[in-house]
Amino acid sequence: MLFCPTCANILMVEEGPEQGLRYACNTCPYIYNIKRKVYSRTFPKLKELDYIMGGAAAWENVDSTDAVCPKCAHGRAFFMQLQTRSADEPMTTFYRCCNHKCAHNWRD
């Protein structure tokens, strides 16, 4: 948002008589012609899976099972089950690859 340098009110975008769009103040005669279109988009940073599930400490005392890692094709993975939905839905199983170089996380 831009504010009027004269009276500090918010500037509104309106169509000008000749030059396209312009910023105009509703309380004073300030007008500023828009010379180019400025566009920017900011995406929020998504939380990491470890952060949601308690970090690295949550994986310290878990069991391992025969599961193939989709990233490195290692044959073993640590797993834990959490109730992520309502009680009448099945538990979600989270996996972490046993290969310490990979440590890929996925869920089933």
Binding residues for Zn(2+): 4, 7, 25, 28, 69, 72, 97, 102
Name residues whose C-beta falls within 8 Å of residue 47's C-beta, 6 or more positions apart in sequence. none
The type of residue at 108 is D
Binding-site annotation: residue ranges:
4, 7, 25, 28, 69, 72, 97, 102
**By C-alpha distance, which of 70, 95, 67 is closest to 81?**
95
Buried-state track 47-73, b at ≥16 Cβ within 10 A, e below 16: eeeeeebeeeeebeeeeeeebebeeee
Cβ(74)–Cβ(99) under 8 Å?
yes
